[in-house]
Amino acid sequence: MSVSVLVAAPLPRAFDYRVPDGMAGVDGGISPLASGTVVVVPLGRREVVGVVWGPGSDDVAPGRLKDIVAVLDLPRLTRSFRAFIDWVARYVMAPPGSVLRLAIGSPALMDPPRPITLYALPEESPSPDGEASDVGGVRLTAARRRVLTAAAGLPPLTASDLAAEAGVGAGVIKSLADHGLLQRLVRTPQSAVEGPPTDLPPGPELGPDQQACADALVEAVRRRPDPASADNAGAEDEAGFQPFVLDGVTGSGKTEVYFEAIAEAVRQGRQALVLLPEIALSTQWLERFRHRFGFDPRAWHSEVTSARRRETWRAAAAGTASVVVGARSALFLPLPKLGLIVVDEEHDGAFKQEDGVVYNARDMAVVRAKMVGCPVVLASATPSLETLGNARAGRYRHLVLPDRHGQAVLPHVETVDLRRDRPPRGRFIAPGVVDAIRETMAREEQAMIFLNRRGYAPLTLCSACGHRLECPNCTAWLVEHRLSGRLMCHHCGHSSRLPPKCESCGAEESFVPCGPGVERIAEEVADLFPDARSIIMASDVIHTAAQAADMIARVQSRDVDLVIGTQLVAKGHNFPLLSLVVVVDSDIGFEGGDFRAFERTYQLLSQVGGRSGRAETSGTVLLQTRAPEHPVIAALTSGDRDGFRDDLLEERRRHGLPPFTRMAAVIVSGPDAATADRVARDLGRTAPAGDPAVSVVGPAPAPLALLRGRHRRRLLMTADRRVPIQQVLNDWIGKVSVPASVKVTVDVDPYSFM
């Protein structure tokens, strides 16, 4: 008896393995193993984790088949989930085994849970009555007494939890157990049975627009067939699929609205999946969730410890985790009772994975919802033009929240023309803006200064000869980070000290910083407002969720007057006392050949602006610019969001750009420039020609022509939406011979053009 097993490795297809006689599946069923069963199989000289993908193909002589080594005690992957993995692999042109690896992750994830030791009072415990200085012959210190008193009122706990409850060190717990005053219980953690909480606390009373949106979502969640019957049938059906765009200005209550849909999914015994762009920094979101639902969602992102990941994976796969919130990788968690997917800040570039399997979690979320047959909600204050295009075309249902909730009004946006209101030499904040910051602080309100550049200065050059300090591995300038005393490459992580003299002309102490980063703005602010309490919020000063939470709490409790931040501050935080936002350089995003540059700048700046005036304080946004008449700036100051997006969409249509066409980038890279060039030229020569529905430009050196020591060339294919681009790409790339040192990567629906 054989089955076909897909191994979590970059192999082109599944392979047949023999099921040893008598090998039982997870649910006790005897061979053949049911599809979806997680198994261990030999691969070369290793043993690897894989999933039974279907019946054996019988194209290998039975005698030559290798045996399945073991069946793992894990829930089977559902049919729709396996179909999803195959679909993604075909769409993004990755080996299915690589996509499976996103789902079943590292082998450690599959390890059985390790037993843990819990501590409790023994059944017949001599109670430490009154002032007695010993019990059962064991001397009682104050610390020991505290532990026994605490343990009396608590379920069995781990040593560290019990120690924390009693306010003692963990050693005290262990010595009490050694003396027999506490009992050790060894347990294997089960996927905690957390069944869906039945009575959820009610949400806030919604406004009429909010209610209408929530009703639409709740109804869609309800339409999904009953989980029990769907499971029995073994198949989900697409009838329950419905995509929504939840489109509302910052502060309009989008989160409250989709919380209603999650609540409905939970009530139905379904699982809800929420994708956030920056989950490790989303403490505020988690707090709001707990406040609304009375329990914690399962979090899934890189900062979660491996033991916790293992447990979360199992709870997800077993269907007991009712709400999972995560970064893009959470999209590949098995969720057999999936009843709702929410993608918050759907326009955010962080949903695009650029390494390994290149995919856009926002787009793949819609595909997953379709295959499962459940609603999907794409929420944003500035939906992407792709999403908007889908709404216009009637593919997505468009739900709009036009106003901020309650008394809060949208901030007033003004430009500051840097050509007139000039900052002094070597400074970056205009005099008029300095006054506005001063007035804000005088009113005891907070101000935020936004600049999307980490470090002190984006460029360092020699004042004697003009030599620029560049990364040895990348086509990029080195960025000075004065706080850490290093020059760093933001692309490869290369870091060095400032050289003592210029390597080009030999001049000493000749290096000067050019342009500002947030550290330089912080220096300027310290000089202008020596008494102000200011902090920098950027990814190189905030490393953990705890640090982020701490900084946000300090801002909220008014321990801080001025926040200087990069795009990290733009994402979803709520700062009620913040009434002024200053954008140091509104024009940064306009250069560069990326067709999404205007859209993205608009999204970023309106998101930053949305941080101000969220409660009773009305907000002001000051955009420092050298191009006040630029359409992006004009759209921000006039507040004509819809007109601006219509113009952008129209322009995309006229120029034959997505979402009206489909794109794929082909990136050739290798350690040797000549070889990379040869392959790129061959691709250019064999590019599909003659079909008016497909066009290819390039090859051309990528803007990052050198990245991590590899030379990069790009070609870009644009095709009519009806063209099956994967097939065209496969045929095309298959014609070119590629030496082992050269890599040809395909990026379907590219987001980065670097």
Q: Which two tokens stand for residue 9?
A: 């490795």
Can residue 680 be called a binding residue for Zn ion (CB under 5 A)?
Answer: no
CB of 574 to ligand ADP, least distance (A): 6
193-220 burial, b at 16+ Cβ within 10 Å, e below that, comes to eeebeeebeeeeebbebbeebbebbbeb
> Other C-beta atoms within 10 Å of 43: how many?
18
- Note whether 206 binds ligand ADP by CB under 6 A: yes
| Residue from the set 76, 224, 254, 596 that interacts with ligand ADP by CB under 6 A | 254
Rounded to whole angstroms, the Cα distance separating 116 from 159 reads 10
| Residue whose CB is less far from ligand ADP, 242 or 284 | 284
> Is residue 105 involved in binding ligand ADP (CB under 6 A)?
no
* 8 Å CB contact between 622 and 582: yes
What residues are paired with 718 via a beta bridge? 663, 695
**With respect to ligand ADP, which residue has the nearer C-beta, 242 or 250?**
250
Choose the one of Zn ion, ligand ADP, none that binds residue 713, judging by a C-beta under 5 to 8 angstroms depending on kind.
none
Nearer to Zn ion among residue 473 and residue 574 (C-beta) = 473
Q: Least CB distance from residue 411 to ligand ADP, whole Å?
A: 13
Q: Which is nearer to Zn ion, 432 or 709 (CB)?
A: 709
The 565-594 site mask, x for binding ligand ADP (CB under 6 A), equals: ---------x--------------------
C-alpha separations of 263 from 37, 271, 294, 313, 650 in Å:
31, 10, 11, 22, 38
Residue 471: which of Zn ion, ligand ADP, none does it interact with, CB under 5 to 8 A by kind?
Zn ion
- Asked if 210 touches ligand ADP (CB under 6 A), the answer is yes
Q: Which does 474 bind (CB under 5 to 8 A by kind): ligand ADP, Zn ion, none?
A: Zn ion
| Rg of the chain, C-alpha, whole Å | 29
User: Which residue stretch of 246-254, 356-364, 488-496, 551-559 sits at the interface with ligand ADP (rule: CB under 6 A)?
Assistant: 246-254
Nearest residue (CB) to ligand ADP, 96 versus 277? 277
* 556 binding partner (options Zn ion, ligand ADP, none; Cβ < 5 to 8 Å by kind): none
Is the Cβ of residue 136 or residue 204 nearer to ligand ADP in the bound state?
Answer: 204
Q: Which amino acid is at 754?
A: M
Out of Zn ion, ligand ADP, none, which partner does residue 143 contact, by CB within 5 to 8 A per kind? none
Residues that contact ligand ADP, how many (by CB under 6 A): 15
Q: How far apart are CA 272 and CA 288, in angstroms?
A: 16
Binders of Zn ion among residues 479 to 508 (CB under 5 A) are 489, 491-492, 494
Can you tell me the distance from the alpha carbon of 321 to that of 266, in angstroms, rounded to the nearest whole number?
10
Q: Which is nearer to ligand ADP, 397 or 427 (CB)?
A: 397
360 binds, among ligand ADP, Zn ion, none (CB under 5 to 8 A by kind): none
Binding mask 112-151 for ligand ADP (x = CB under 6 A): ----------------------------------------
Q: Which of residues 369-408 bind ligand ADP (CB under 6 A)?
A: 405
Element (H, E) at 255: helix 254-267
Closer residue to ligand ADP (CB): 255 or 601: 255
The yes or no reply on residue 250 touching ligand ADP (CB under 6 A) is yes
Q: Which residue has the tokens 């209610």?
A: 211
- Nearest-CA neighbor of 666 among 599, 734, 597? 734
The CA distance from 214 to 201, in Å, is: 16
Q: Could you say whether residue 473 binds Zn ion (CB under 5 A)? A: yes
The least distance separating Zn ion from the CB of residue 753, rounded to whole angstroms, comes to: 18
Of these, 56, 243, 253, 698, which contacts ligand ADP (CB under 6 A)?
A: 253
Measured CA angle at 749 (ends 710, 657), to 5 deg: 115
Q: Which does 42 bind (CB under 5 to 8 A by kind): ligand ADP, Zn ion, none?
A: none
When asked if residue 251 is in the footprint of ligand ADP (CB under 6 A), the reply is: yes
Going by C-alpha positions, the residue among 48, 29, 28 that lies closest to residue 38 is 48
Q: Which H or E run contains 222? A: helix 208-223
Q: Beta-carbon neighbour count of residue 313 at 10 Å? A: 24
- Region of residue 28 (left: phi > 0; alpha: psi -120 to 50; beta: else): left
Contact partner at residue 686 from Zn ion, ligand ADP, none, CB < 5 to 8 Å by partner kind: none
**Rounded to an integer, what distance in angstroms lies between the CA atom of residue 584 and that of residue 452?**
9
How many residues are recorded in the chain? 754
**Which residues have C-beta within 8 Å of that of residue 104, sequence separation ≥ 6?**
8, 38, 49, 51, 110
CA distance 154 to 185: 14
* Minimum gap (Å) between residue 752 Cβ and Zn ion: 16
Q: Considering beta carbons, is residue 285 or 332 the nearer one to ligand ADP?
A: 285
Q: Closest by alpha carbon to 713, among 671, 678, 680?
A: 680
**Nearest approach, Cβ of 497 to ligand ADP (angstroms)?**
43
Among 2, 4, 255, 612, binds ligand ADP (CB under 6 A): 255
Which residue, among 276, 286, 251, 248, has the nearest Cα to 342 in the 3D structure?
276
Between CA 619 and CA 703 the distance in angstroms is 38
Task: Find the helix or strand (DSSP H, E) in which 562 lies.
Answer: strand 562-565
Give whole-number Cα distances, 73 to 39, 83, 86, 110, 495, in Å: 9, 22, 23, 9, 46
Task: For residue 204, state whether it binds ligand ADP (rule: CB under 6 A).
Answer: yes
For residue 493, the minimal CB distance to ligand ADP (Å) is 34
Residue pair 476/489 in contact by the 8 Å Cβ criterion:
yes
| Nearest distance, CB of residue 202 and ligand ADP, angstroms | 11
Closest separation in Å from C-beta 66 to Zn ion:
44
CA pair distance 156, 28, nearest whole angstrom? 32
Q: Which is nearer to ligand ADP, 15 or 285 (CB)?
A: 285
| Among the residue ranges 113-121, 209-217, 473-481, 610-618, the one whose residues contact Zn ion (CB under 5 A) | 473-481
Phi/psi for 74 (5° steps) reads: -135, 155
Pairing of strands 459-462, 511-514: antiparallel
515 binds ligand ADP per the rule CB under 6 A:
no
Residue 609 as a binder of ligand ADP (CB under 6 A): the answer is no
CB of 710 to Zn ion, least distance (A): 11
DSSP letters, 40-53, are EEEETTEEEEEEEE
Q: Which tokens belong to 44?
A: 């070369």
Kindly tell me which residue out of 209, 256, 311, 561 binds ligand ADP, with binding defined by CB under 6 A: 256
Q: Is 207 in the site for ligand ADP (CB under 6 A)?
A: yes
36 lies in the binding site for ligand ADP (CB under 6 A): no
Question: Which partner from the list ligand ADP, Zn ion, none does 248 bind, CB cut-off 5 to 8 Å by kind?
Answer: ligand ADP
CB of 402 to ligand ADP, least distance (A): 11
Q: Rounded to whole angstroms, how far apart are CA atoms 79 and 314?
A: 18
CB of 704 to Zn ion, least distance (A): 9
Residue 71 binding target from Zn ion, ligand ADP, none, CB below 5 to 8 Å by type: none
Q: Which does 90 bind (CB under 5 to 8 A by kind): Zn ion, ligand ADP, none?
A: none
Kindly state the number of chain residues that form the binding site for Zn ion, as judged by CB under 5 A: 7
State yes or no: residue 408 binds Zn ion (CB under 5 A).
no
CB of 9 or CB of 498, closer to Zn ion: 498
Structure tokens at 6: 């897909």
Gap between the Cα atoms of 73 and 354, Å rounded = 33
| Segment lying near ligand ADP (by CB under 6 A), choices 199-207, 234-242, 352-360, 368-376 | 199-207
| 489 contact choice in Zn ion, ligand ADP, none (CB below 5 to 8 Å, kind-dependent) | Zn ion
DSSP state of 617: S
- C-alpha distances in Å from residue 500, one per residue of 43, 480, 506, 507: 53, 14, 9, 9
**Phi, psi angle pair for 558, to nearest 5°:** 60, 30
Structure tokens that stand for 39 in this block: 């198994």
Q: Which residues bind ligand ADP (CB under 6 A)?
A: 204-207, 210, 248, 250-256, 405, 574
Residues that bind Zn ion (CB under 5 A): 471, 473-474, 489, 491-492, 494
